[in-house]
């Protein structure tokens, strides 16, 4: 709930008074609260203006606070001094009016030393569940008590009713939970900050663990690759040696295959020449170049294809056999394997380089985190030292302020004691009808020696009225220099003895007021008897 500027000023004033004056306990609304939320509105209405009153330990603290507010030109504040308030115990009969009726003071929770202030604020008011209960108590049972309902309706002692909660009352009733709400909000912010820090720490720890695991796996892969590398290189060397050994055999086999193919070509030419000579007449008869053309085109076309296929299959089998004998595929496979191993080795070397780079980056990050942690720890120690120094300075200042306040209280007490003595002297002078000389007053002036304004005016008011605007003239007194308290006490004792002797003489010189009163009474009775006698004489003369 956002505070207004006025509320903020009040809060600042309260904080200042609490800091400057140790006797300030706090606002009543902050020192107590209803035992259940349903009583919030009733307690708000019952406390009224006392809800924002400032509870102080003694009357002097209240006076000091008021003086400070005047000097600083701040708005006025109501104070409840715990040592001066007079609280009448609530009527126990009100506690037995019914289950739905309770004393307001019984539904407010507070410390024992604040209980008088709460009782002063709510008096003997009662809280009722409904307006019907309040009417029953005040009108049917004729109880002279202020009744407040849960929804804020009031039945006063004189029987008048004011009703219903307003928006302002509802807002004020929520203030009972302000202190607890503020504490919960502060706790929530603290827990949120702590949880954020914990989550961030856990995230960093998780990342660090993940990077550590990756680094460990990378190092393991590097070691595995490095352990396999000699075997791969040895295998490559062995394959190269085998290739060097079988290279002459491969060349020999290739020469034999070429010679055999050449021989087969010559044999085929010879066979064709023989066939052409044998089937020369047949060829002329059918108009073909040779019998082979006829065989190919007419009779043996399919057979030739079949035979050719078989021949090709046979040649293919032979070639395959020959190829199986010269290891060219092994060579290709070895070359392919070597190429793959080289590529794998390059990939492993690249991965090793990347892992080393990541490891270096992680080490730099770890060092940076360690440095940041060390710097933060040093800063924390420095701040703690500064806080301790500030706390010590604050304690010293508080001790000095308390000493000054104590000395000021002693001086003010002395001033008040002298003021009381002065007022006592002025009262005695007024009572004895003794006019004290004042500065600037003419000698022998008797303008102010007339009668007092009446018995209803107290001696203190008379003394204040007579001497408020002027200072007492002490020039007629003997100038003495008394160095010790005993000498001053002895001198004052002599004055008091002299005054007592003069007062005794004056009392003996005064006439007997009782005799004078008796004389006046007898004179009144004589006058009355004479009047009655004259009336009797007149009646007698009228008769005769």
**pLDDT (tens digit, 9 = 90+) per residue, 88-103?**
888 888 888 888 889 9
For residue 443, name the pLDDT band (cuts at 50, 70, 90).
very low
* Distance (Å) of CA 225 to CA 211, 230, 335, 344, 345: 21, 9, 21, 10, 8
Tokens 């330990």, located at residue? 57
Does residue 72 sit in helix, strand or coil?
coil
The reply to whether 352 falls in a domain is: no
Same domain, residue pair 158 and 188: no
| Spatial CA neighbour of 144 closest among 208, 78, 97, 87 | 97
The reply to whether 512 falls in a domain is: no
Rounded distance, CA 472 to CA 438, Å? Answer: 4
Evaluate whether 253 touches 325 at the Cβ level (below 8 Å). Answer: yes
| Spatial CA neighbour of 63 closest among 115, 21, 114 | 21
Structure token digits, residue 420: 């009381």
Which of 287, 310, 337 is at the close of a domain? 287
| Spatial CA neighbour of 331 closest among 239, 266, 416 | 239
Predicted TM-score (pTM) of the model is 0.38
Mean pLDDT of 76-81: 90
Position 451 scores a pLDDT of: 41
For residue 81, name the pLDDT band (cuts at 50, 70, 90).
very high
Rounded distance, CA 505 to CA 432, Å? Answer: 13
The reply to whether 16 falls in a domain is: yes
Containing structural domain, residue 118? 5-165
Same domain, residue pair 135 and 279: no
Mean pLDDT of 309-324: 69
Chain-centre distance for alpha carbon 95: 40
Evaluate whether 16 touches 77 at the Cβ level (below 8 Å). Answer: no
The reply to whether 183 falls in a domain is: yes
Position 456 scores a pLDDT of: 33
Same domain, residue pair 65 and 25: yes
For residue 132, name the pLDDT band (cuts at 50, 70, 90).
confident
Question: What CATH number does residue 102 fall under?
Answer: 3.30.70.1620
Same domain, residue pair 19 and 157: yes
* Residue 138, number of CB atoms within 10 A of its CB: 23
pLDDT(398) > 90: no
For residue 330, name the pLDDT band (cuts at 50, 70, 90).
low
The reply to whether 357 falls in a domain is: no
Mean pLDDT of 221-240: 81
Same domain, residue pair 63 and 159: yes
> Based on the number of CB atoms within 10 Å of its own CB, is 155 exposed (0-12), middle (13-18) or buried (19 or more)?
buried
Same domain, residue pair 240 and 282: yes
pLDDT(130) > 80: yes
Through-space distance between the first and last CA atoms of the chain, rounded to whole angstroms: 105
Which of 265, 287, 309 is at the close of a domain? 287
The reply to whether 346 falls in a domain is: no
Same domain, residue pair 283 and 182: yes
pLDDT(55) > 90: yes
Rounded distance, CA 467 to CA 503, Å? Answer: 23
Same domain, residue pair 282 and 236: yes
Position 466 scores a pLDDT of: 57
Evaluate whether 94 touches 122 at the Cβ level (below 8 Å). Answer: no
Q: Which of 216-220, 226-230, 274-278, 471-475 has the lowest mean pLDDT?
A: 471-475
The reply to whether 92 falls in a domain is: yes
The reply to whether 194 falls in a domain is: yes
φ, ψ (nearest 5 deg) of residue 289: -70, -40
φ, ψ (nearest 5 deg) of residue 40: -60, -50
For residue 453, name the pLDDT band (cuts at 50, 70, 90).
very low
Number of domains, the chain = 2
Does residue 301 sit in helix, strand or coil?
helix
Rounded distance, CA 172 to CA 157, Å? Answer: 24
For residue 531, name the pLDDT band (cuts at 50, 70, 90).
confident
Position 222 scores a pLDDT of: 82
Q: In what order do the strands lie in the sheet with 101-103?
A: 101-103, 126-128, 147-149, 154-155, 161-162
Rounded distance, CA 349 to CA 361, Å? Answer: 18
The larger pLDDT score, comparing residue 286 to residue 15, is at 15
Same domain, residue pair 101 and 188: no
Q: Which of the 8 DSSP states describes residue 86?
A: -
Rounded distance, CA 363 to CA 341, Å? Answer: 32
pLDDT(528) > 70: yes
Same domain, residue pair 248 and 137: no
Residues comprising the chain, all counted: 544
φ, ψ (nearest 5 deg) of residue 159: 95, -5
Same domain, residue pair 152 and 19: yes
Q: Could you tell me the sign of the dihedral formed by the alpha carbons of 112, 117, 121, 123, in that order?
A: positive
Mean pLDDT of 379-401: 81
Which of 223, 258, 287 is at the close of a domain? 287
> Based on the number of CB atoms within 10 Å of its own CB, is 414 exposed (0-12), middle (13-18) or buried (19 or more)?
exposed
Same domain, residue pair 118 and 187: no
φ, ψ (nearest 5 deg) of residue 39: -90, 0
């Amino acid at each position: 709930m956002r505070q207004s500027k006025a509320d903020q000023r009040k809060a600042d004033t309260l904080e200042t008074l609490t800091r400057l004056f140790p006797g300030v306990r706090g606002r009543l609304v902050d020192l107590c609260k209803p035992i259940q939320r349903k009583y919030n509105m009733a307690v708000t209405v019952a406390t009224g203006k006392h809800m924002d009153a400032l509870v102080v330990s003694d009357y002097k603290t209240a006076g000091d606070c008021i003086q400070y507010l005047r000097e600083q030109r701040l708005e006025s504040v109501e104070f409840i001094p715990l040592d001066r308030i007079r609280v009448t115990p609530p009527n126990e009969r009100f506690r037995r009016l019914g289950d739905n009726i309770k004393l307001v003071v019984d539904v407010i929770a507070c410390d024992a030393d604040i209980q008088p202030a709460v009782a002063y604020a709510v008096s003997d008011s009662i809280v009722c569940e409904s307006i019907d209960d309040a009417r029953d108590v005040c009108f049917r049972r004729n109880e002279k008590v202020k009744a407040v309902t849960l929804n804020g309706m009031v039945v006063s002692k004189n029987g008048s009713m004011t009703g219903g909660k307003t928006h302002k009352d509802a807002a004020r009733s929520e203030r009972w939970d302000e202190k607890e709400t503020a504490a919960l909000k502060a706790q929530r912010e603290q827990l949120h900050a702590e949880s954020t820090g914990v989550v961030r720490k856990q995230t960093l720890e998780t990342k660090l663990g993940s990077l550590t695991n990756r680094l460990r796996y990378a190092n393991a892969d590097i070691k595995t690759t490095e352990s396999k590398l000699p075997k791969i290189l040895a295998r490559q060397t062995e394959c190269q040696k085998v290739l060097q050994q079988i290279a002459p055999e491969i060349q020999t086999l290739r020469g034999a295959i070429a010679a055999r193919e050449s021989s087969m070509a010559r044999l085929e030419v010879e066979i064709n020449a023989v066939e052409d000579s044998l089937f020369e007449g047949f060829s002329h008869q059918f108009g073909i170049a040779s019998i082979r053309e006829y065989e190919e085109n007419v009779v043996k076309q399919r057979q030739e294809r079949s035979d050719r296929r078989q021949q090709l299959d046979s040649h293919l089998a032979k070639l395959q056999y020959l190829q199986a004998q010269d290891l060219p595929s092994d060579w290709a496979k070895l070359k392919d394997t070597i190429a793959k191993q080289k590529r794998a080795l390059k990939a492993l070397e690249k991965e090793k380089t990347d892992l080393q780079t990541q490891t270096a980056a992680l080490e730099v990050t770890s060092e940076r985190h360690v440095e940041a942690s060390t710097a933060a720890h040093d800063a924390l120690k420095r701040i703690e030292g500064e806080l301790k120094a500030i706390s010590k300075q604050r304690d010293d200042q508080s001790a000095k302020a308390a000493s000054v306040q104590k000395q000021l209280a002693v001086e003010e007490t002395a001033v008040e004691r002298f003021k009381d003595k002065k007022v006592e002297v002025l009262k005695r002078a007024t009572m004895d009808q003794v006019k004290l000389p004042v500065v600037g007053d003419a000698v022998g002036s008797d303008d102010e020696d007339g009668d007092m304004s009446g018995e209803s005016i107290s001696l203190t008011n008379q003394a204040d009225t007579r001497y408020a605007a002027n200072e007492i003239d002490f020039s007629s007194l003997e100038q003495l220099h008394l160095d010790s308290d005993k000498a001053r006490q002895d001198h004052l004792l002599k004055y008091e003895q002299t005054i007592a002797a003069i007062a005794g003489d004056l009392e003996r010189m005064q006439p007997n007021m009782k005799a004078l009163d008796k004389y006046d009474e007898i004179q009144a009775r004589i006058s009355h008897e004479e009047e009655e006698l004259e009336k009797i004489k007149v009646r007698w003369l009228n008769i005769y």
